[in-house]
């Protein structure tokens, strides 16, 4: 959120010939009023809802144009349909553009640019390191030392740091902030946006949020939040817009009526239909486009058909548009050049033609230029005009090229997964979706991780049913179960389904001891639902298998599960036997492995439960001894969850002692 954003909207590159704002006087006046309030330290949020092509981006661009000469800071965040599972994707993109990062430049250059960016706002050393880590630069330079934080704490502090940057910017001068296409926002960015909406009310900030109607904005009703739904244009305004777009080409009444009728008040459709008619009509010297053949015959029936018709008339530039569409909404000259057989001159000419058609905007100069489709629907139209076999070939080629870039593999494995999935190369799609899920877990972006593991499983189901596939599914289901626990809770049905399938595969594959997360997760699911008989059955089966194999690790886990289960059932004597046996088998070297695999410190937790058992049966001195030992053990490993749980379990004993003394 630092500095003036260098991100250009698709309208800025076309500003000189941008379509005028028609029938939006009330909407733009509302934004002006909210901006004046924001300048007076009354932060405002405007939610702009509307269907695709209705003019949300054009409206916000108009305000940005009006305020171009006014002192303020601009921050722009663009969500993408291809990055709905990429944590903080729009924030990372804004920071990289604000810093001026260039593709494939040395890390040292990026550090220098980040230094410059962060110097504009007073930033603590920790905040600098968090932002560097967000940009995958953390810990590789002494200026930004790595922070020893858990994933959840790192995420919390990163979000807080980003909000602090906004606060610092707003103290210097008013901030005009845009989150565009929030219907495609990733969950972690939505969490940051929620915090931002809460914070801006006392800052010099106007926050604009655009989205399609299917997104349900959770902020409606707050006194500083205004909801604005853009309406379709009426017939008169539609005709005026079509007339402007046609320029020197006068349209006959029949053509104009047909265009207005088919566009149904959607500005983007009006523009594209009119341009399709103009391009299909007589030459530039003709003043009137005649209605011969009939209007209904020359006007495309749908927006997709209109865009396809315009692409067809681009000649060689159509192929470039199609390749660009396969890359994504935004594509670089550098990557495009590697995918086409055209010469540099032909490629440059084709790109110039695309930009002139206003279907694509350009920023920068080749070979470092990048291009953005005017609208997601334009990219979709170009993508769909390719034969399926050609699309798959291009996706495979793009994935292979991106795979050679270490930065993409490290930071955006989900991008590689998407391209391999589109190419039908499912084994690699599975691998990269899995890698993306694990990366999200490491960042505590659990909602994104859940979606990524689900996509990995969906692609895995398309592979032949071999032992290798079942083993991969076992690991994925266990990872998905752990992720669903974090997102939905241990007792959620979705969590149970993942672990039930994992346990089924674990049994089918002969109970591999390295996959104990499967029975552990299923046991935890039933235990947290107080389904102790089912939990006991799982734990007893685990004990039976561990005894047959004489596997000490599995024995430790089985006795821990049984001891905890019997404690939950109130069978304290049996619970003590199992927990004591677990402690007899346990050695300190087991601790780290158990924490990493199961998220629990067995000895600390068993001592905690033994303390609780002795408390319940009235042996308060023994309970105190066990609780003190549990707290000491948990602290020796510095494992926060076990410390918290051992302390929480001590609370009833302390309360009881205080009550007894009062009596």
User: In this predicted structure, what is the pLDDT of residue 371?
Assistant: 93
Number of residues assigned to the chain: 663
Report helix, strand or coil for 163. Answer: helix
91 in any annotated domain: yes
Asked if the model's pLDDT at residue 575 lies above 50, the reply is: yes
How far is Cα 591 from Cα 586, in angstroms, rounded to an integer? 9
**51-55, 303-307, 493-497: least confident range:** 303-307
Out of 358, 386, 414, pick the residue that ends a domain: 386
Asked if the model's pLDDT at residue 177 lies above 90, the reply is: yes
**304-313, 384-393, 650-659: least confident range:** 650-659
Who has greater pLDDT, 620 or 453? 453
Report the interhelical angle of 620-637 vs 640-662 (nearest 10°): 150
Out of 366, 386, 406, pick the residue that ends a domain: 386
* pLDDT bracket for residue 663 (50, 70, 90): very low
Residue 182 shares a structural domain with residue 196: yes
Residue 318 shares a structural domain with residue 304: no
The string of pLDDT tens digits covering residues 110-120 is 888 998 888 87
* pLDDT bracket for residue 423 (50, 70, 90): very high
The string of pLDDT tens digits covering residues 534-564 is 999 999 999 998 888 888 888 999 999 999 9
Residue 129, both tokens: 């390191």
- Does this model's pTM top 0.85? My answer is yes
Asked if the model's pLDDT at residue 74 lies above 90, the reply is: yes
| Over residues 410-427, mean pLDDT | 95
29 in any annotated domain: yes
Categorise residue 315: left if φ over 0, alpha if ψ from -120 to 50, beta otherwise.
Answer: left
| Over residues 4-13, mean pLDDT | 42
User: In this predicted structure, what is the pLDDT of residue 4?
Assistant: 40
Max Cα-Cα span within the chain? 103
Residue 296 shares a structural domain with residue 381: no
Highest mean pLDDT among 91-105, 259-273, 309-323, 443-457: 443-457
Residue 325 shares a structural domain with residue 275: no
How far is Cα 501 from Cα 516, in angstroms, rounded to an integer? 13
114 in any annotated domain: yes
The string of pLDDT tens digits covering residues 631-645 is 888 787 776 776 776
* pLDDT bracket for residue 571 (50, 70, 90): very high
Burial 120-147 (b: 16+ CB within 10 A, else e): bbebeeebbbbbbbbbebbebbeebeeb
The string of pLDDT tens digits covering residues 264-305 is 899 998 988 888 888 776 554 444 444 434 444 456 667 888
Q: Which residues pair with 211 in a beta bridge?
A: 49
User: In this predicted structure, what is the pLDDT of residue 107?
Assistant: 84
Asked if the model's pLDDT at residue 219 lies above 50, the reply is: yes
How far is Cα 649 from Cα 636, in angstroms, rounded to an integer? 18
User: In this predicted structure, what is the pLDDT of residue 513?
Assistant: 84
Report helix, strand or coil for 141. Answer: strand
* pLDDT bracket for residue 258 (50, 70, 90): confident
How far is Cα 100 from Cα 94, in angstroms, rounded to an integer? 10
Who has greater pLDDT, 125 or 7? 125
Write the CATH number for 137: 3.40.50.300
**32-36, 256-260, 517-521, 638-642: least confident range:** 638-642
| Over residues 318-346, mean pLDDT | 93
450 in any annotated domain: no
Range of the domain at 345: 314-386
R_g of the chain computed on alpha carbons: 30
Residue 299 shares a structural domain with residue 329: no
Out of 209, 229, 249, pick the residue that ends a domain: 229
The residue among 596, 605, 610, 618 whose CA lies nearest residue 646 is 605
Highest mean pLDDT among 358-372, 461-475, 585-599, 604-618: 461-475
User: In this predicted structure, what is the pLDDT of residue 278?
Assistant: 83
| Over residues 593-616, mean pLDDT | 86
User: In this predicted structure, what is the pLDDT of residue 293?
Assistant: 42
Residue 212 shares a structural domain with residue 271: no
Residue 151 shares a structural domain with residue 266: no
Residue 119 shares a structural domain with residue 180: yes
Helix extents (H) in 175-315: 187-199, 235-246, 253-263, 267-280, 295-298, 303-312
User: In this predicted structure, what is the pLDDT of residue 305?
Assistant: 83
Asked if the model's pLDDT at residue 574 lies above 90, the reply is: yes
User: In this predicted structure, what is the pLDDT of residue 42?
Assistant: 94
The domain tally of the chain equals 3
What integer best gives the mean pLDDT of the chain? 88
Judge contact between 365 and 355, C-beta under 8 A: no
515 in any annotated domain: no
Residue 172 shares a structural domain with residue 83: yes
* pLDDT bracket for residue 16 (50, 70, 90): very low
The string of pLDDT tens digits covering residues 20-36 is 788 999 999 999 999 99
Asked if the model's pLDDT at residue 607 lies above 50, the reply is: yes
Asked if the model's pLDDT at residue 211 lies above 90, the reply is: yes
User: In this predicted structure, what is the pLDDT of residue 590?
Assistant: 77
356 in any annotated domain: yes
Write the CATH number for 380: 1.10.10.10
The proportion of the chain whose per-residue pLDDT surpasses 70, expressed as a percent, equals: 90
The residue among 482, 572, 579 whose CA lies nearest residue 539 is 579
Burial 297-308 (b: 16+ CB within 10 A, else e): ebbbeebeebbb
Asked if the model's pLDDT at residue 585 lies above 60, the reply is: yes
User: In this predicted structure, what is the pLDDT of residue 603?
Assistant: 86
Report the interhelical angle of 572-585 vs 602-616 (nearest 10°): 150
Who has greater pLDDT, 364 or 479? 479
Residue 267 shares a structural domain with residue 364: no
Helix extents (H) in 328-425: 333-339, 344-356, 376-384, 388-403, 406-411, 413-423
Residue 359 shares a structural domain with residue 374: yes
Residue 56 shares a structural domain with residue 194: yes
């Amino acid at each position: 959120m630092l500095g003036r954003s260098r991100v250009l909207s698709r309208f800025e590159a076309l500003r000189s010939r941008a379509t005028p704002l028609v029938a939006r006087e009330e909407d733009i006046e509302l934004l002006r009023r909210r901006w004046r309030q924001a300048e007076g330290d009354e932060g405002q949020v405007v939610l702009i809802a509307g269907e695709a092509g209705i003019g949300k981006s054009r409206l916000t661009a108009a305000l940005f144009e009006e305020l171009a000469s006014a002192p303020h800071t601009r921050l722009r965040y663009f969500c993408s349909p291809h990055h709905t599972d990429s944590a903080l994707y729009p924030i990372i993109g804004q920071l990289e553009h604000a810093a001026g990062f260039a593709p494939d430049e040395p890390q040292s250059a990026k550090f220098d640019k980040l230094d410059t960016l962060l110097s504009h706002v007073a930033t603590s050393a920790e905040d600098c390191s968090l932002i560097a880590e967000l940009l995958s630069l953390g810990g590789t330079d002494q200026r930004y030392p790595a922070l020893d934080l858990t994933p959840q704490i790192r995420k919390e502090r990163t979000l807080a740091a980003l909000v602090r940057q906004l606060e610092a910017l707003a103290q210097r001068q008013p901030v005009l902030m845009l989150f565009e296409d929030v219907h495609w926002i990733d969950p972690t960015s939505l969490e940051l946006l929620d915090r931002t909406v809460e914070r801006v009310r006392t800052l010099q900030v106007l926050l604009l949020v655009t989205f399609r109607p299917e997104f349900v904005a959770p902020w409606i009703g707050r006194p500083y939040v205004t909801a604005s739904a853009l309406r379709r244009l009426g017939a008169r305004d539609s005709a005026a817009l079509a007339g402007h777009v046609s320029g020197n080409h006068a349209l006959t009444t029949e053509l104009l009526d047909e265009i207005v009728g088919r566009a149904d008040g959607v500005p983007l459709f009006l523009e594209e239909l009119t341009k399709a008619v103009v391009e299909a009509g007589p030459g530039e010297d003709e003043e009137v486009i005649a209605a011969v053949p009939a209007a209904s015959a020359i006007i495309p029936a749908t927006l997709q058909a209109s865009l396809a018709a315009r692409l067809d008339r681009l000649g060689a530039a159509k192929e470039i548009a199609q390749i660009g569409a396969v890359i994504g909404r935004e594509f670089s000259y550098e990557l495009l050049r590697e995918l086409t057989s055209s010469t540099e001159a032909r490629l440059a000419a084709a790109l110039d033609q695309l930009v002139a058609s206003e279907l694509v905007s350009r920023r920068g100069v080749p070979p470092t230029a990048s291009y953005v489709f005017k609208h997601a629907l334009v990219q979709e139209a170009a993508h769909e005009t390719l034969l399926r076999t050609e699309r798959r070939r291009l996706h495979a080629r793009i994935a292979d090229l991106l795979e050679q870039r270490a930065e993409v593999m490290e930071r955006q494995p989900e991008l590689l997964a998407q391209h391999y999935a589109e190419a039908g190369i499912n084994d690699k799609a599975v691998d990269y979706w899995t890698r993306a899920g694990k990366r999200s877990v490491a960042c505590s972006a659990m909602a994104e991780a859940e979606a990524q593991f689900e996509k990995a499983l969906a692609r895995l189901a398309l592979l032949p049913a071999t032992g290798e596939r079942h083993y991969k599914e076992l690991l994925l289901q266990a990872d998905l179960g752990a992720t669903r626990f974090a997102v939905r809770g241990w007792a959620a049905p979705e969590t149970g389904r993942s672990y039930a399938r994992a346990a089924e595969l674990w049994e089918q594959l002969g109970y591999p001891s390295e996959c104990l997360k499967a029975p552990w997760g299923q046991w935890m699911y039933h235990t947290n639902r107080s389904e102790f008989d089912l939990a006991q059955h799982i734990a007893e089966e685990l004990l039976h298998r561990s005894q047959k194999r004489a596997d000490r690790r599995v024995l430790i886990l089985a006795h821990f599960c049984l001891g905890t289960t019997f404690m939950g059932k109130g069978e304290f004597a049996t619970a003590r036997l199992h927990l004591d046996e677990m402690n007899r088998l346990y050695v300190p070297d087991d601790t780290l492995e158990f924490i990493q695999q199961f998220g629990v410190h067995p000895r600390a937790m068993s001592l905690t439960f033994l303390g609780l058992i002795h408390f319940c049966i009235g042996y308060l001195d023994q309970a105190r001894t066990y609780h003190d030992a549990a707290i000491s053990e948990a602290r020796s490993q510095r494992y926060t969850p076990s410390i918290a749980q051992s302390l929480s379990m001590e609370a009833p004993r302390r309360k009881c002692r205080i009550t007894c003394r009062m009596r």
